[in-house]
Structure 1
């Protein structure tokens, strides 16, 4: 990693520029009321629109033009081939979700985003989450903290809440996408309250804004994927939060199978281990019944 460390600041500046450009593309499609313009296609893992593809093309073109393909690999939701699910043979891999929360985008809830992460040997070192309708991007690089930037160019550091007891914490969840097992889990956890937001990046942004403190992903028939988590993870951890499997193990990316099976827990870091232990015990109890 040392051979590229001096370049990371410049790479982050490029990634921020790319993120704003992609956010503008998504927003333009979002606010275009032309009948049928999104060209929605239903695929196995969810809908895909013309906006996904346009943003994806823009992101890849910008990054590959500036950085090339010799040192960097590119793992994108829209170009990933499940039939060739092998790790990209590069130490440095960009992990891209051009439109996080496609269903919310289609339904006009405003709760959609864009994820852009750079991983080194499977772990994120740069991450950006854009929330176009909020006019914000959240960005982080390893050991340098997390920042929020507005469209006006204002940049300021941002950190998670300091709520320190499980009974004081707020859980962030989707309004939908909850199977019976996950519902049983969250019903048994003694949080102070539950809030709702679409998209993983959007959910993690609520932890940065101190509106919530906990996000849980529990796989069922399917699972979230690399591009759902890589950028949100580093913007959370650099802001003081924690992100791991419920057993405490870190999440690795670009491992071939992009699906993240099991239970992943993201918190403000104040009682992460205790909460993970409680979640693990609760899931085991549910599964025994």
Structure 2
């Protein structure tokens, strides 16, 4: 098997290629301009999702083969992971995270490509096409960002932060909201809320220090592995944290593709306090 640096170079190249495909649909230059919007479990799926998924899978498999790796894409996933593969190396792919924002032209959409070893991500690429930025990370080596014009990557790290929770900005979903999440956000003392689509875009706002915290609470549905794995690694390798409310790490490639419960991502400041506060507030909700 190739080493992780070689694999990352392939994933970065594929990430930019997928971004090109998505932008051709987003800006109306694709040969087929009909997005053919359909719905899968109440979530929109377009021809752009499918075309980008096919591109990513074909190019990763051509470069890396199927002997060492399994490949899970949102657009091809059909069954529980423990039935679909037995590999300890699994690619988790969301070819278009933030399809609603893509359709509505908010610019909040991203490409997620993560390599999970056993149950944890060890390599990640997140591309924000409209920002012309690609974030990438290998476990233990930090997070870097590159643009199309500046391929020399710049390492990201958070500057020292002496602010209190009351000064924080929470980045929140444009569409995936429920009453329990609204209650939690109303009772946490954040100064501001910033609405952003796509988990990848939300995490990028934290890395770029435009926001401080992201919270997800599963309702009737939950974020999937491919929504979270790549954004988690680029955040944590930049110095942030991404855990369950009980401060335990997220697990991927298990027998459930869903990330149930409460998830909290932050710039790392006051993370444990925020987890405890979120847990206490939800206990009040449950007892009300």
Same fold (TM over 0.5): yes
Of 8, 17, 32, 1:12 maps to: 8
SS of residue in 2 equivalent to 1:261: coil
Alpha-carbon distance, 1:45 to partner: 4.1
Task: Report the Cα distance in structure 2 between the residues aligned to 1:209 and 1:9, rounded to whole angstroms.
Answer: 24
Deviations 1:122-164 (A, max 9, x none): 1000011100011011111111100111011242111235434
Which runs of 5 or more residues in structure 2 are unaligned? none
1:62 aligns with 2:59: yes
Partner of 1:40: 37
Alpha-carbon distance, 1:175 to partner: 2.5
Partner of 2:100: 103
1:26 aligns with 2:25: no
Of 145, 151, 161, 2:142 maps to: 145
Task: Report the Cα distance in structure 1 between the residues aligned to 2:159 and 2:106, rounded to whole angstroms.
Answer: 26
TM-score (norm 2): 0.95
Task: Report the Cα distance in structure 1 between the residues aligned to 2:190 and 2:83, rounded to whole angstroms.
Answer: 39
Aligned length: 285
Once the two structures are superposed, the pairs formed by residues 221-240 of structure 1 within 5 Å of their partners are 221-240=220-239
Task: Report the Cα distance in structure 1 between the residues aligned to 2:81 and 2:201, rounded to whole angstroms.
Answer: 30
TM-score (norm 1): 0.94
Partner of 1:156: 154
Q: Any conservation in 2 of the 1:87–1:256 contact (CA below 8 Å)?
A: no
> Structure 1 residues 264-273 or 80-89, which shifts more?
80-89
Q: Any conservation in 1 of the 2:81–2:253 contact (CA below 8 Å)?
A: no
Which runs of 5 or more residues in structure 1 are unaligned? none
Change (3 A) 1:54 1:166: same
Partner of 2:277: 278
CA RMSD, 1 decimal: 1.6
SS of residue in 2 equivalent to 1:148: strand
Partner of 2:181: 182
Task: Report the Cα distance in structure 1 between the residues aligned to 2:57 and 2:38, rounded to whole angstroms.
Answer: 21
